[in-house]
Amino acid sequence: MNLQSDVCVIGNGAIGKAAALGFAQSGMSVTLLAPPSAVRTPTLQELTRWDLRVYALNQVARALLSSIKVWDALDASRVAPVDAMVVRGDGEQRAGNLAFDAYSARVDALAWIVEDSNLNQALDAALKFAPGVQLIAGQAIRLSADSDSATVLLENGDTLGASLIVGADGGHSWVRGQCDIDIDYRPYGQRAIVANFSCEKPHHGVASQWFTSADGIVALLPLPGQRVSLVWSAPEHLAEALLHESSDQLAQRLSLLPDQQLGRLHPLQPEMVKDFPLALIRPHAIIAPRVALIGDAAHVVHPLAGHGMNLGFSDVATLLKTIAERGAWQNCGDSRILARYARARKEDILLMQLATDGLERLFAADFEPLRIARNIGLNLINKIPVIKKRLMSHALGKIL
């Protein structure tokens, strides 16, 4: 089989699906290629339990999902708005504190906590009805490009031809490797421990985060009802210990966090505590002939700011806009169009990489003078409206 389309999106995550849907709704023919193992129907248990993978989607992500008619298709009963965020430093007496709230930012929410499964179910449903989308389950083994088009060869001998290949296949991107794009890779020596808990007291839509030097970065994100999602970026030795403890022991640790106002925590699914390694991945380019990278294929950042998925949705929005504004004589894989996309994304990606990497380095240092200085810095920022407003603006993905 030789299947031709305007765009071929490679990847089965939410970022790739959103891109495929956006291109299709703009009138292009789209092929969405996913590994055979990824094409499966979730079980009833998977559909009803609380997903361990959640995202704090900002205004830009919501605007994109609304524009492709996915936001309103989410199960709203499983979406939690973040009305405020409190960041706490380490140390008992001189701990820093930085707080943001939606009212001060003049928005209805700082972010929305959405489960990966909820997001993907809405995207999958939309893709089934999208005109011009071909869903292909297969394993790609070679990517080639010339001045007119690009071709993906599958393991079974089929080929997929397109004017543009969009690599949305994650941090260990096959597409990126086929394009010989080098990367800067820095492991953080941390693992993200994720789990869900019910809480004794209501969270009032507040996301809480603790920066500590010895124990890493702990975040408790609001879920609907009296539930929270844990994302603990823990050093390797501590992560190993947390994974070998019971869920009740993990809950006990969280109950002892300074100024933790949720009371006692109880595991929602005691058997479900997962982890994944953390690293900074910085590709030297996000485009190649007839190829554009989006999402984790284009950048992997520390999850301390919760903006990895938002960066990916910004990639999608920018790529869709750039291609929509091309000249009538240009096809979607034109090198000038792709260069424009890369320029448009450069600053946003670089700022997020520098911010997350810099904060991780700053708070990982267990040096008392530096500990005092960073806590003073948090308190100072909290009292300077101009700086605080700029930080909120960047986090929301908009200018306030």
Q: What is the 3-state secondary structure (H, E, C) of 273-331?
A: CEEEEEEEEEECCCEECCEEECHHHCCECCHHHCCHHHHHHHHHHHHHHHHHCCCCCCC
At residue 100, the pLDDT reads 85
CA distance 71 to 64: 8
CA distance 94 to 369: 12
One of 3.50.50.60, 3.90.1150.10, 3.30.70.2700, 3.90.79.10 is the CATH number of 2-67+116-184+279-357, namely 3.50.50.60
Q: Which of the four pLDDT bands, split at 50, 70 and 90, describes residue 376?
A: low
Mean predicted confidence (pLDDT) in 333-349: 96
The whole-chain average pLDDT of the chain stands at 89
Among 40-44, 79-83, 152-156, 224-228, the minimum mean pLDDT is found in 40-44
At residue 30, the pLDDT reads 98
Q: Where are the domains of the chain?
A: 2-67+116-184+279-357, 81-115+188-278+366-396
Q: Which of the four pLDDT bands, split at 50, 70 and 90, describes residue 286?
A: very high
Residue of 9 and 329 predicted with greater confidence: 9
Has this prediction a pTM greater than 0.85? yes
What pLDDT, in 10s, does the model give residues 232-247? 999 999 999 999 999 8
pLDDT > 70: what percent of the chain? 86
Among 55-69, 259-273, 285-299, the minimum mean pLDDT is found in 259-273
**Which amino acid belongs to residue 300?**
V
pLDDT for residue 367 is more than 80: no
At residue 42, the pLDDT reads 67
At residue 394, the pLDDT reads 62
At residue 397, the pLDDT reads 65
Q: What are phi and psi of 152, to 5 degrees?
A: -110, 125
Q: Are strands 84-88 and 206-211 parallel, antiparallel or unpaired?
A: parallel
What pLDDT, in 10s, does the model give residues 192-209? 999 999 999 999 999 999
Mean predicted confidence (pLDDT) in 347-367: 79
What pLDDT, in 10s, does the model give residues 129-188? 998 999 999 999 999 999 899 999 999 999 999 999 999 999 999 999 999 999 999 999
Mean predicted confidence (pLDDT) in 242-254: 92
pLDDT for residue 399 is more than 60: no
pLDDT > 90: what percent of the chain? 69
Q: Which has the closest alpha carbon to 219: 239, 200, 192, 242?
A: 192
Mean predicted confidence (pLDDT) in 86-96: 72
At residue 357, the pLDDT reads 83
At residue 45, the pLDDT reads 66
At residue 202, the pLDDT reads 96
- CA separation (Å) from 25 to 21, 76, 133? 6, 23, 10
Q: Which of the four pLDDT bands, split at 50, 70 and 90, describes residue 381?
A: low
Handedness of CA 177, 183, 187, 191 (dihedral sign): negative
HSE (side-chain half, CA atoms, 13 Å) at 317: 18
2-67+116-184+279-357 and 81-115+188-278+366-396, same CATH topology: no
Q: Which has the closest alpha carbon to 395: 313, 311, 315, 295?
A: 311
Mean predicted confidence (pLDDT) in 318-331: 93
At residue 400, the pLDDT reads 33
CA distance 63 to 277: 30
Is 81-115+188-278+366-396 a domain of CATH 3.30.9.10? yes
